[in-house]
Structure 1
Amino acid sequence: MEQELLLECQRSDRNAQRKVYEKMAGRLYAVCRRYLKNDEDIEEVLADTFYKIFTKITQLQNPETFEAWARKIAVNECLQKLRSNKGLLISLEENFIDHSEGTTENISLEKDILSLLNFLPEGCRAIFNLFAIEGYPHKEIAAMLSISEGTSKSQLNFARKKLQELLVNQNI
Protein backbone atom coordinates (compact mmCIF):
# COMPACT_ATOMS: atom_id res chain seq x y z
CA MET A 1 0.00 0.00 0.00
CA GLU A 2 1.32 3.45 -0.87
CA GLN A 3 2.64 5.36 2.12
CA GLU A 4 1.15 8.66 0.94
CA LEU A 5 -2.29 7.09 0.59
CA LEU A 6 -2.09 5.77 4.14
CA LEU A 7 -0.99 9.19 5.42
CA GLU A 8 -4.03 10.71 3.74
CA CYS A 9 -6.20 8.10 5.45
CA GLN A 10 -4.66 9.10 8.78
CA ARG A 11 -5.89 12.64 8.03
CA SER A 12 -9.41 11.17 7.45
CA ASP A 13 -9.37 11.92 3.73
CA ARG A 14 -12.51 10.23 2.39
CA ASN A 15 -11.12 9.88 -1.12
CA ALA A 16 -8.02 8.09 0.20
CA GLN A 17 -10.20 5.85 2.38
CA ARG A 18 -12.28 4.93 -0.67
CA LYS A 19 -9.11 4.00 -2.58
CA VAL A 20 -7.86 1.85 0.29
CA TYR A 21 -11.27 0.21 0.53
CA GLU A 22 -11.27 -0.56 -3.20
CA LYS A 23 -7.77 -2.07 -3.00
CA MET A 24 -8.38 -4.12 0.15
CA ALA A 25 -12.07 -5.09 0.11
CA GLY A 26 -11.63 -8.20 -2.03
CA ARG A 27 -8.71 -9.50 -0.01
CA LEU A 28 -10.38 -8.90 3.34
CA TYR A 29 -13.65 -10.36 2.05
CA ALA A 30 -11.75 -13.56 1.22
CA VAL A 31 -10.30 -13.64 4.74
CA CYS A 32 -13.77 -13.23 6.26
CA ARG A 33 -15.21 -15.86 3.90
CA ARG A 34 -12.83 -18.45 5.33
CA TYR A 35 -14.24 -17.92 8.82
CA LEU A 36 -17.90 -17.14 8.23
CA LYS A 37 -20.56 -18.83 6.11
CA ASN A 38 -23.35 -16.28 6.12
CA ASP A 39 -23.00 -13.46 3.56
CA GLU A 40 -24.75 -11.00 5.89
CA ASP A 41 -22.25 -11.80 8.66
CA ILE A 42 -19.36 -11.38 6.23
CA GLU A 43 -20.63 -7.99 5.08
CA GLU A 44 -21.17 -6.89 8.69
CA VAL A 45 -17.70 -8.00 9.74
CA LEU A 46 -16.14 -6.42 6.67
CA ALA A 47 -17.83 -3.09 7.51
CA ASP A 48 -16.65 -3.38 11.13
CA THR A 49 -13.15 -4.19 9.89
CA PHE A 50 -12.92 -1.11 7.70
CA TYR A 51 -14.37 1.03 10.47
CA LYS A 52 -11.60 -0.16 12.80
CA ILE A 53 -8.96 0.25 10.10
CA PHE A 54 -9.92 3.86 9.44
CA THR A 55 -10.44 4.82 13.09
CA LYS A 56 -7.20 3.20 14.29
CA ILE A 57 -4.97 3.86 11.29
CA THR A 58 -3.09 6.50 13.27
CA GLN A 59 -1.80 3.64 15.46
CA LEU A 60 -0.12 1.99 12.46
CA GLN A 61 3.60 2.42 13.05
CA ASN A 62 4.97 1.01 9.79
CA PRO A 63 3.02 1.53 6.53
CA GLU A 64 4.79 -1.51 5.05
CA THR A 65 2.87 -3.74 7.47
CA PHE A 66 -0.53 -2.26 6.59
CA GLU A 67 -1.90 -5.32 4.79
CA ALA A 68 -0.90 -7.72 7.57
CA TRP A 69 -2.32 -5.30 10.14
CA ALA A 70 -5.61 -5.05 8.21
CA ARG A 71 -5.83 -8.86 7.89
CA LYS A 72 -5.30 -9.23 11.62
CA ILE A 73 -8.14 -6.81 12.29
CA ALA A 74 -10.37 -8.81 9.91
CA VAL A 75 -9.47 -12.11 11.60
CA ASN A 76 -10.14 -10.66 15.06
CA GLU A 77 -13.50 -9.27 13.90
CA CYS A 78 -14.43 -12.69 12.48
CA LEU A 79 -13.52 -14.41 15.74
CA GLN A 80 -15.52 -11.86 17.70
CA LYS A 81 -18.53 -12.50 15.43
CA LEU A 82 -18.20 -16.27 15.88
CA ARG A 83 -18.04 -15.87 19.67
CA SER A 84 -21.08 -13.61 19.73
CA ASN A 85 -23.13 -15.88 17.47
CA LYS A 86 -23.14 -19.03 19.56
CA GLY A 87 -19.81 -19.88 21.06
CA LEU A 88 -16.82 -20.83 19.03
CA LEU A 89 -16.15 -24.48 19.68
CA ILE A 90 -18.55 -27.03 18.28
CA SER A 91 -18.65 -30.63 19.37
CA LEU A 92 -16.45 -32.93 17.33
CA GLU A 93 -19.40 -35.27 17.05
CA GLU A 94 -21.43 -32.72 15.10
CA ASN A 95 -23.16 -34.34 12.13
CA PHE A 96 -21.81 -33.57 8.71
CA ILE A 97 -23.69 -33.57 5.44
CA ASP A 98 -22.50 -36.12 2.91
CA HIS A 99 -21.21 -34.13 -0.04
CA SER A 100 -20.05 -37.05 -2.12
CA GLU A 101 -22.01 -35.85 -5.15
CA GLY A 102 -19.48 -33.45 -6.62
CA THR A 103 -20.31 -30.68 -9.02
CA THR A 104 -19.14 -30.80 -12.61
CA GLU A 105 -17.78 -27.26 -12.47
CA ASN A 106 -14.13 -27.10 -13.26
CA ILE A 107 -12.84 -24.61 -10.70
CA SER A 108 -9.44 -24.33 -9.13
CA LEU A 109 -8.29 -26.62 -6.32
CA GLU A 110 -7.83 -23.66 -3.98
CA LYS A 111 -11.44 -22.55 -4.44
CA ASP A 112 -12.58 -26.14 -3.94
CA ILE A 113 -10.66 -26.48 -0.69
CA LEU A 114 -11.79 -23.09 0.59
CA SER A 115 -15.40 -23.96 -0.19
CA LEU A 116 -15.00 -27.22 1.73
CA LEU A 117 -14.05 -25.19 4.81
CA ASN A 118 -17.71 -24.19 4.98
CA PHE A 119 -18.58 -27.77 5.87
CA LEU A 120 -16.45 -27.71 9.01
CA PRO A 121 -17.89 -26.67 12.37
CA GLU A 122 -17.11 -23.04 13.14
CA GLY A 123 -14.56 -23.85 15.85
CA CYS A 124 -12.58 -26.26 13.70
CA ARG A 125 -12.75 -23.91 10.72
CA ALA A 126 -11.49 -20.96 12.78
CA ILE A 127 -8.59 -22.94 14.22
CA PHE A 128 -7.67 -24.39 10.80
CA ASN A 129 -7.65 -20.88 9.33
CA LEU A 130 -5.62 -19.42 12.17
CA PHE A 131 -3.02 -22.20 12.05
CA ALA A 132 -2.80 -23.33 8.42
CA ILE A 133 -3.58 -20.10 6.61
CA GLU A 134 -2.75 -17.23 8.96
CA GLY A 135 0.28 -19.02 10.47
CA TYR A 136 -0.48 -18.56 14.18
CA PRO A 137 1.10 -21.10 16.57
CA HIS A 138 -1.16 -23.15 18.85
CA LYS A 139 -0.10 -21.16 21.89
CA GLU A 140 -1.37 -17.90 20.34
CA ILE A 141 -4.53 -19.55 19.03
CA ALA A 142 -5.26 -20.90 22.50
CA ALA A 143 -4.80 -17.45 24.01
CA MET A 144 -6.95 -15.77 21.33
CA LEU A 145 -9.81 -18.23 21.76
CA SER A 146 -9.48 -18.83 25.52
CA ILE A 147 -8.93 -22.56 25.04
CA SER A 148 -6.08 -24.91 25.85
CA GLU A 149 -3.29 -25.66 23.38
CA GLY A 150 -4.44 -29.28 23.41
CA THR A 151 -7.92 -28.26 22.33
CA SER A 152 -6.44 -26.16 19.53
CA LYS A 153 -4.34 -29.12 18.35
CA SER A 154 -7.21 -31.60 18.53
CA GLN A 155 -9.60 -29.25 16.67
CA LEU A 156 -6.94 -28.72 13.98
CA ASN A 157 -6.41 -32.46 13.66
CA PHE A 158 -10.15 -33.02 13.39
CA ALA A 159 -10.43 -30.27 10.74
CA ARG A 160 -7.62 -31.81 8.69
CA LYS A 161 -9.16 -35.27 8.80
CA LYS A 162 -12.60 -33.96 7.87
CA LEU A 163 -11.14 -31.92 4.98
CA GLN A 164 -9.31 -35.01 3.71
CA GLU A 165 -12.57 -36.99 3.80
CA LEU A 166 -14.40 -34.21 1.97
CA LEU A 167 -11.63 -34.00 -0.65
CA VAL A 168 -11.84 -37.73 -1.28
CA ASN A 169 -15.65 -37.59 -1.48
CA GLN A 170 -15.44 -34.69 -3.94
CA ASN A 171 -12.73 -36.45 -6.01
CA ILE A 172 -10.53 -33.37 -5.79
Structure 2
Amino acid sequence: MERELLLECQRNDRNAQRKVYEKMAGKLYSVCRRYLKNDEDIEEALADSFYKIFTKMNQLQNPDIFESWARKIAVNECLQKLRTARELHIPLDEDHAFSADFSTENISFEKDILSLLNFLPEGCRAIFNLFAIEGYPHKEIADMLSISEGTSKSQLNFARKRLQELMVNQNI
Protein backbone atom coordinates (compact mmCIF):
# COMPACT_ATOMS: atom_id res chain seq x y z
CA MET A 1 0.00 0.00 0.00
CA GLU A 2 1.32 3.44 -0.87
CA ARG A 3 2.62 5.45 2.09
CA GLU A 4 1.10 8.71 0.87
CA LEU A 5 -2.32 7.12 0.51
CA LEU A 6 -2.14 5.81 4.07
CA LEU A 7 -1.03 9.21 5.36
CA GLU A 8 -4.04 10.77 3.63
CA CYS A 9 -6.25 8.19 5.34
CA GLN A 10 -4.73 9.16 8.68
CA ARG A 11 -5.86 12.71 7.91
CA ASN A 12 -9.40 11.34 7.34
CA ASP A 13 -9.36 12.02 3.60
CA ARG A 14 -12.53 10.27 2.34
CA ASN A 15 -11.15 9.89 -1.17
CA ALA A 16 -8.06 8.11 0.15
CA GLN A 17 -10.22 5.90 2.38
CA ARG A 18 -12.32 4.92 -0.64
CA LYS A 19 -9.15 3.97 -2.55
CA VAL A 20 -7.86 1.89 0.36
CA TYR A 21 -11.27 0.22 0.65
CA GLU A 22 -11.27 -0.62 -3.07
CA LYS A 23 -7.76 -2.11 -2.84
CA MET A 24 -8.37 -4.10 0.34
CA ALA A 25 -12.05 -5.09 0.29
CA GLY A 26 -11.55 -8.27 -1.76
CA LYS A 27 -8.67 -9.50 0.37
CA LEU A 28 -10.41 -8.83 3.65
CA TYR A 29 -13.68 -10.28 2.35
CA SER A 30 -11.79 -13.52 1.66
CA VAL A 31 -10.41 -13.51 5.20
CA CYS A 32 -13.90 -13.01 6.67
CA ARG A 33 -15.36 -15.70 4.43
CA ARG A 34 -12.93 -18.27 5.81
CA TYR A 35 -14.25 -17.71 9.33
CA LEU A 36 -17.93 -16.99 8.81
CA LYS A 37 -20.56 -18.83 6.77
CA ASN A 38 -23.43 -16.37 6.59
CA ASP A 39 -23.15 -13.58 3.98
CA GLU A 40 -24.67 -11.04 6.36
CA ASP A 41 -22.13 -11.89 9.06
CA ILE A 42 -19.30 -11.65 6.52
CA GLU A 43 -20.48 -8.23 5.34
CA GLU A 44 -20.92 -7.02 8.90
CA ALA A 45 -17.46 -8.22 9.95
CA LEU A 46 -15.98 -6.57 6.85
CA ALA A 47 -17.74 -3.27 7.59
CA ASP A 48 -16.66 -3.40 11.24
CA SER A 49 -13.10 -4.14 10.13
CA PHE A 50 -12.96 -1.11 7.86
CA TYR A 51 -14.50 1.06 10.56
CA LYS A 52 -11.72 -0.01 12.94
CA ILE A 53 -9.06 0.33 10.28
CA PHE A 54 -10.04 3.91 9.49
CA THR A 55 -10.67 5.00 13.09
CA LYS A 56 -7.42 3.48 14.37
CA MET A 57 -5.26 4.38 11.38
CA ASN A 58 -3.30 6.86 13.53
CA GLN A 59 -2.10 3.93 15.68
CA LEU A 60 -0.35 2.38 12.69
CA GLN A 61 3.31 3.21 13.27
CA ASN A 62 4.75 1.46 10.23
CA PRO A 63 2.83 1.83 6.93
CA ASP A 64 4.84 -1.09 5.49
CA ILE A 65 2.83 -3.52 7.62
CA PHE A 66 -0.57 -2.04 6.78
CA GLU A 67 -1.93 -5.11 4.98
CA SER A 68 -1.01 -7.54 7.77
CA TRP A 69 -2.35 -5.06 10.35
CA ALA A 70 -5.65 -4.77 8.46
CA ARG A 71 -5.84 -8.55 8.07
CA LYS A 72 -5.35 -9.02 11.82
CA ILE A 73 -8.18 -6.57 12.48
CA ALA A 74 -10.45 -8.56 10.14
CA VAL A 75 -9.54 -11.85 11.84
CA ASN A 76 -10.27 -10.36 15.26
CA GLU A 77 -13.60 -8.99 14.05
CA CYS A 78 -14.59 -12.43 12.78
CA LEU A 79 -13.58 -14.10 16.03
CA GLN A 80 -15.54 -11.48 17.97
CA LYS A 81 -18.56 -12.13 15.75
CA LEU A 82 -18.28 -15.86 16.47
CA ARG A 83 -17.99 -15.20 20.20
CA THR A 84 -20.98 -12.87 20.39
CA ALA A 85 -23.25 -14.91 18.11
CA ARG A 86 -22.88 -17.84 20.43
CA GLU A 87 -20.10 -19.12 22.52
CA LEU A 88 -17.45 -20.69 20.33
CA HIS A 89 -18.36 -24.35 20.48
CA ILE A 90 -15.48 -26.72 19.97
CA PRO A 91 -16.59 -30.36 19.95
CA LEU A 92 -14.04 -32.58 21.61
CA ASP A 93 -15.28 -35.93 20.37
CA GLU A 94 -14.63 -37.54 17.01
CA ASP A 95 -18.31 -38.51 16.68
CA HIS A 96 -19.35 -34.96 15.82
CA ALA A 97 -22.24 -34.98 13.37
CA PHE A 98 -20.75 -34.21 10.01
CA SER A 99 -22.26 -34.17 6.56
CA ALA A 100 -20.85 -33.27 3.20
CA ASP A 101 -23.72 -33.47 0.78
CA PHE A 102 -22.73 -30.89 -1.80
CA SER A 103 -21.62 -31.01 -5.36
CA THR A 104 -18.29 -29.70 -6.51
CA GLU A 105 -17.96 -27.90 -9.79
CA ASN A 106 -14.87 -27.24 -11.85
CA ILE A 107 -13.43 -24.56 -9.61
CA SER A 108 -9.90 -23.97 -8.43
CA PHE A 109 -8.30 -26.16 -5.79
CA GLU A 110 -8.11 -23.22 -3.39
CA LYS A 111 -11.82 -22.54 -3.73
CA ASP A 112 -12.51 -26.23 -3.21
CA ILE A 113 -10.53 -26.22 0.03
CA LEU A 114 -12.14 -22.99 1.21
CA SER A 115 -15.60 -24.38 0.50
CA LEU A 116 -14.73 -27.49 2.50
CA LEU A 117 -13.91 -25.30 5.50
CA ASN A 118 -17.61 -24.47 5.70
CA PHE A 119 -18.27 -28.09 6.65
CA LEU A 120 -16.09 -27.90 9.75
CA PRO A 121 -17.57 -26.95 13.12
CA GLU A 122 -16.99 -23.26 13.87
CA GLY A 123 -14.33 -23.84 16.51
CA CYS A 124 -12.32 -26.21 14.30
CA ARG A 125 -12.64 -23.88 11.34
CA ALA A 126 -11.42 -20.91 13.38
CA ILE A 127 -8.43 -22.85 14.72
CA PHE A 128 -7.54 -24.23 11.28
CA ASN A 129 -7.68 -20.72 9.79
CA LEU A 130 -5.64 -19.17 12.59
CA PHE A 131 -2.94 -21.86 12.47
CA ALA A 132 -2.73 -23.07 8.88
CA ILE A 133 -3.63 -19.90 7.01
CA GLU A 134 -2.85 -16.97 9.31
CA GLY A 135 0.23 -18.61 10.87
CA TYR A 136 -0.57 -18.07 14.55
CA PRO A 137 1.15 -20.42 17.04
CA HIS A 138 -1.02 -22.63 19.27
CA LYS A 139 -0.23 -20.56 22.37
CA GLU A 140 -1.58 -17.39 20.74
CA ILE A 141 -4.63 -19.23 19.39
CA ALA A 142 -5.33 -20.59 22.86
CA ASP A 143 -5.14 -17.08 24.32
CA MET A 144 -7.35 -15.61 21.59
CA LEU A 145 -10.06 -18.25 22.01
CA SER A 146 -9.69 -18.80 25.78
CA ILE A 147 -8.89 -22.49 25.37
CA SER A 148 -5.87 -24.62 26.24
CA GLU A 149 -2.99 -25.19 23.83
CA GLY A 150 -3.84 -28.89 23.88
CA THR A 151 -7.39 -28.16 22.75
CA SER A 152 -6.04 -25.98 19.95
CA LYS A 153 -3.72 -28.77 18.80
CA SER A 154 -6.36 -31.49 19.01
CA GLN A 155 -8.91 -29.38 17.14
CA LEU A 156 -6.37 -28.61 14.41
CA ASN A 157 -5.77 -32.35 14.08
CA PHE A 158 -9.54 -32.95 14.00
CA ALA A 159 -9.94 -30.29 11.28
CA ARG A 160 -7.13 -31.75 9.17
CA LYS A 161 -8.60 -35.25 9.36
CA ARG A 162 -12.06 -34.01 8.40
CA LEU A 163 -10.69 -31.97 5.50
CA GLN A 164 -8.76 -35.00 4.24
CA GLU A 165 -11.92 -37.12 4.44
CA LEU A 166 -13.88 -34.50 2.53
CA MET A 167 -11.19 -34.19 -0.10
CA VAL A 168 -11.19 -37.94 -0.65
CA ASN A 169 -15.00 -38.08 -0.75
CA GLN A 170 -15.16 -35.22 -3.23
CA ASN A 171 -12.17 -36.38 -5.33
CA ILE A 172 -10.28 -33.15 -4.80
Normalized against structure 1, the TM-score is what? Answer: 0.96
Partner of 2:161: 161
State the shift of 1:34 in Å.
0.2
- Deviation by residue 1:36-64 (Cα, 9 ceiling, x = unmatched): 00000000000000000000000000000
What amino acid is aligned across from residue 72 of structure 2 in structure 1?
Answer: K
Please identify runs of 4+ aligned residues in structure 1 that moved more than 6 A. none
Structure 1, unmatched stretches of 5+, are none
Q: Percent identity?
A: 82
Q: Is the 8 A contact 1:116 1:163 kept in 2?
A: yes
Structure 1 distance, partners of 2:169, 2:151, is 27
State the shift of 1:20 in Å.
0.2
Partner of 2:110: 110
Normalized against structure 2, the TM-score is what? Answer: 0.96
Partner of 2:17: 17
Q: Is the 8 A contact 2:100 2:119 kept in 1?
A: no
Q: Is the 8 A contact 1:102 1:171 kept in 2?
A: no
Structure 1 distance, partners of 2:90, 2:59, is 35
Structure 2 distance, partners of 1:134, 1:89, is 20
Partner of 1:94: 96
State the shift of 1:98 in Å.
3.3
Structure 1 distance, partners of 2:71, 2:89, is 22
What amino acid is aligned across from residue 57 of structure 2 in structure 1?
Answer: I
Partner of 2:66: 66
SS in 1 for 2:26: helix
Structure 2 distance, partners of 1:80, 1:157, is 23
What amino acid is aligned across from residue 26 of structure 1 in structure 2?
Answer: G
Count of equivalent residues: 170
Structure 2, unmatched stretches of 5+, are none
Partner of 2:125: 125
Partner of 2:138: 138
Q: Does 1:38 align with 2:38?
A: yes
- Deviation by residue 1:81-122 (Cα, 9 ceiling, x = unmatched): 0011111133244311133x643x211111000000000000
